[in-house]
Amino acid sequence: MNAITVRNLTKDYKNHRAVNDISFDVQEGEFFAFLGENGAGKSTTINILCTILEKTGGEAKIFGNELGKDDDEIRQSIGIVFQNSVLDGKLTVKENLFTRGAYYGLGRKEIMKRLDSFMDRFELGEIWGRNYEKLSGGQRRRVDIIRALLNKPRLLFLDEPTTGLDPMSRKIVWDYIDYLRKEKHMTIFLTTHYMEEVRDADHVIILDKGRIIANDTPAGLKNRYTGAKLLWYAGRNPDNDRLIRDFVYDYEADHYIVMLPKKEDFALTEFLYRNNDRIRDYEVIKGSMDDVFLNLTGRKLGE
Amino acid sequence: MIFLKDKQAIVFSLLTSIIVLALYLLFLKGTFVDAVNSGIGGFPELAGRISNDDIDMFANFILLTGIIGSALITVPYNCLTTVVKDRENRIDCDILATPVKRWQIILGYYVSAAFSAILLTGTILTVGLIVLELQGNMYMSAGNVLSLYGVVALGAISATAVFMIIVLFFKSTGASGAFFGILSAASGFVIGAYIPISQFSDSVQTVCNLFPASHITIMLRNSALNGLLDHIADSVGKDAGEPFVDVLKDLFTFKARLFGHELGMTQMPVYVLAVLAVSLVIQTALYSKTYKK
């Protein structure tokens, strides 16, 4: 079953089209990622799917519920971690979670029952009575995630959840997201501009200026939009240069970097086989998601 | 109710009231007492017959109603800055993504701000009444006290309704704070805390009395001082006392003048309720549009 079905979704703001005729599907239980620069339309799409913004055109369904018609059902089935912290700074963690739980019609007993599993995993106990505004960035994010899970959502939206976090907090957040995916089989919809965060995604969409410019698995994107690099550890000399003259190459410190065109991995295999007497110390590095983005847009992410 | 968690915001919301109190202690009390004495000057037979305690109590009540009147403008507005903060910090998006209905969100903001305002201004009224009771006889019946609380509640509810519309136009707390600066500076004058509105021209009185808070302050003055004024009239004899009390009522504004017409204690609540009803209709229309972006 599709967790999300989007067809020809469009969002206009006065003279600006933020989301431009996008269509995609997200399978239930999938880890789905939206990759793109700031202003690409990632958050706008999430806000439409979460019923916060109204779409200008197109259709969307969440677990079969139609956006704009079955919004109450959609809201019950989703959780969202926003880019910025959206809890009340003057309230304690406990007060914030009780207030948010009440929005879903949950009583205190039920909220406490649901929070039980977070107490240890997210070290909630130690920050329970502290004002939200006095928490560190990492602690806040943990509470944000717990808040998003209060209503036991089937689909969790994560809008750049680790932006601005220290490495330790990022790791804690990602460990928990992995747990939700693998143990709870929760559908995860992530937007990010960190390439490494989409490495484990089942599906990645790259958005640029409101349009989908690529839609595939991370491996598929790399295969389609990047080539491999051969690092050949050897001294630089005219003989070696001659051997790789048919490729684009460079030399760094103690090794050659040989660029292999995309979709032509076989050329590498053939080349290595033919020269196995001379090329003995080497490694092959596949293209990264950074390379995918660079090849697709002509820009580096974050430029 | 988050507003009540922010002690700094509470203090700032009461800034105008604090200024009114400070000015009273510095010179306003003298001005009020002088005005009463000049009123007595028009009735030579009353010279020396009205006790200083009654004149002091009268001036004190003018102060208390001024403090509460200005608080009924600044406190509801400050309570509603939560709406602006929530929009600026996108907290409203977090609420919009929950099953809570849009009208419940609007009503929630309104009720919590009105309730916070009632709580704060009611507390000021209670403290004020206790302080004045310790200073002498207030000549107030239980009915008068109850009506004071009723007027405070009406003032908080109506001001909150009007400000719900205004805060919608602010996208940042900076802009809303700047408006609050203007509001707190103007509120003391609009409700006649410094100078009674009746001292102004008809057109200025009309402008001041367009705001429900001015009517509320006048209603507070009537509820708080009618007992004392009756006592003053009785103590000097009705024949001279009643005309003198009428002079005092003119001098310190016990009726609202709007477009040349006088509104008494029966018309003023109607006017405030009408403003409240219109504001509720406008805010419902505006907010339902706002939350459909």
What is the ipTM, given to two decimal places? 0.80
A40 and A154 share one domain: yes
Whole-model pTM: value is 0.82
Taking only the tens of pLDDT, chain B with its 293 residues reads 677 778 888 888 888 888 888 888 888 888 888 888 888 888 888 777 888 899 999 999 999 999 999 999 999 999 999 899 999 988 999 999 999 988 888 899 999 999 999 999 999 999 999 999 998 889 999 999 999 999 999 999 999 999 999 998 898 999 999 999 899 888 888 888 888 888 888 899 999 999 999 999 999 999 999 999 999 998 888 788 888 899 989 889 888 989 989 899 999 999 999 999 999 999 888 877 776 65
Does the structure show a pLDDT above 80 at A30?
yes
**Domain interval for residue A253:** 227-285
Domain boundary residue, one of A222, A240, A262: A222
Q: Is A91 on the interface with B (CB under 8 A)?
A: yes
3-state secondary structure chain B: CHHHHCHHHHHHHCHHHHHHHHHHHHHHHHHHHHHHHHHHHCCHHHCCCCCHHHHHHHHHHHHHHHHHHHHHHHHHHHHHHHHHHHHHCCHHHHHHCCCCCHHHHHHHHHHHHHHHHHHHHHHHHHHHHHHHHHHCCCCCCHHHHHHHHHHHHHHHHHHHHHHHHHHCCCCCHHHHHHHHHHHHHHHHHHCCCCCCHHHCCHHHHHHHHHCHHHHHHHHHHHHHHHHHHHHHHHHHCHHHHHHHHHHHHHHCCCCEEECCEEECCCHHHHHHHHHHHHHHHHHHHHHHHHCCC
A186 and A231 share one domain: no
Option in B2, B5, B93 nearest A82 (CB): B93
The total number of structural domains in chain A stands at 2
A84 and A131 share one domain: yes
A133 and A268 share one domain: no
A140 and A279 share one domain: no
- Structure tokens, A290: 């950074």
Distance CA A251, CA A253 (A): 7
The CATH number of the domain holding residue A246 is 3.30.70
Q: Is B99 on the interface with A (CB under 8 A)?
A: yes
Is residue A303, in this structure, part of any structural domain at all? no
* Inter-chain residue contact B93 with A47, CB threshold 8 Å: yes
Q: Is A86 on the interface with B (CB under 8 A)?
A: yes
A214 and A236 share one domain: no
A42 and A173 share one domain: yes
Q: Is B107 on the interface with A (CB under 8 A)?
A: no
Distance CA B52, CA A104 (A): 61
Q: Are strands A282-285 and A229-233 parallel, antiparallel or unpaired?
A: antiparallel
- Structure tokens, B71: 């608080």
Does the structure show a pLDDT above 90 at A117?
no
Residue A301 has a pLDDT of 65
B94 to chain A: which residues are within 8 Å by CB? 80, 82, 86-87, 100, 147
**In this structure, what are the phi and psi dihedrals at residue A252, rounded to the nearest 5 degrees?**
-130, 125
A79 and A59 share one domain: yes
* Inter-chain residue contact A104 with B98, CB threshold 8 Å: yes
Is residue A299, in this structure, part of any structural domain at all? no
* Inter-chain residue contact A53 with B293, CB threshold 8 Å: yes
* pLDDT tens digits, A121-172: 777 888 999 999 999 888 898 899 999 999 999 999 999 888 878 888 888 8
Distance CA A240, CA A254 (A): 13
Residue B11 has a pLDDT of 82
Is residue A142, in this structure, part of any structural domain at all? yes
Option in B6, B94, B99 nearest A90 (CB): B6
A66 and A182 share one domain: yes
Å between B115 CA and nearest CA of chain A: 17
**How would residue A302 be classed by pLDDT, with cut points 50, 70 and 90?**
low
Does the structure show a pLDDT above 90 at A212?
yes
Q: Is A22 helix (H, G, I), strand (E, B) or coil?
A: strand
The CATH number of the domain holding residue A18 is 3.40.50.300
* Closest-approach residue (CA) in chain A for B93: A52
Task: Report CA-CA distances (Å) from B109 to A7, B1, B258.
Answer: 36, 9, 31
Most B CBs within 10 Å, among A14, A45, A50, A52, to test the B interface? A52
Å between B159 CA and nearest CA of chain A: 25
* Inter-chain residue contact B292 with A72, CB threshold 8 Å: no
Distance CA B167, CA B290 (A): 12
